[in-house]
Amino acid sequence: MKLAFDWRDDLDVDWAGHPNWYFRISKFSIPYLQHESVPRTWFLDQLKEIPSDLENYALKPLYSFAGLGVVIAPKKEDIAAIPADKRPYYILQERLNFEPVIETPFGGTKAEVRVMYIWLEELKPVMTIIRMGRGLMMGVDHNKNMEWVGASAGLYID
């Protein structure tokens, strides 16, 4: 298919943000959110004390996708191995325990529902993603050779 423009042209357009902005909003925002429904999260460079129950945490790089670089149940050595100048770009996040509540022909499957809201005159859900899996992490990459895993979308009717 031939486009009506060339990406290399000097175009008079407003571009959507760089993909890192998504991660900055997504993972970068979590340590600032203090609510019972938000997992406790710290920037690694601001962590005052390493929790003794690291099996209940995940170490995550801020700018990664599809679980790349995520360490589930990190050891103190994993944390210590991150150089001081890279620590502002990592978070330590309390892990959520997803229950396998969706019955499938292949057994119970876990689901994670993420909802994006906007606030104009009122709070309004505008987009959602539903991730399904049976492994330690959600997403197809972490549930290889399994059926009834992956992602789906939810629909809001106003």
The residue extents of the domains of the chain are 19-94, 102-152
Residues 6+ apart with CB under 8 A from 90: 43, 44, 45, 59, 60, 61, 62, 82
From CA 42, how far away is CA 91, in angstroms rounded? 5
The pLDDT value recorded for residue 16 is 64
From the number of C-beta atoms within 10 Å of its C-beta (0-12, 13-18, 19+), residue 34 rates as exposed
pLDDT at 75 over 90: yes
Task: For residue 30, give the nearest of 62, 8, 55, 52 by alpha carbon.
Answer: 62
- SS3 label, residue 61: strand
The dihedral over CA atoms of 54, 56, 61, 67, expressed in degrees to the nearest 10, equals 130
pLDDT of residue 119: 85
Residue range 92-151, pLDDT digits in tens: 999 988 889 889 898 898 888 888 788 889 988 888 888 888 877 776 666 777 887 877
Of residues 53 and 127, the one with the higher pLDDT is: 53
Question: 11-15, 38-42, 63-67, 98-102 — which one is most confidently predicted on average?
Answer: 38-42
Give the model confidence (pLDDT) of 11-28 as tens digits: 787 766 665 566 666 788
Nearest to 112 by CA among 132, 126, 136: 132
In which element (H, E) is residue 80 found? helix 76-80
pLDDT at residue 19, rounded to an integer: 59
Entry pTM: 0.73
Report the sign of the C-alpha dihedral through residues 32, 36, 42, 43, in that order.
negative
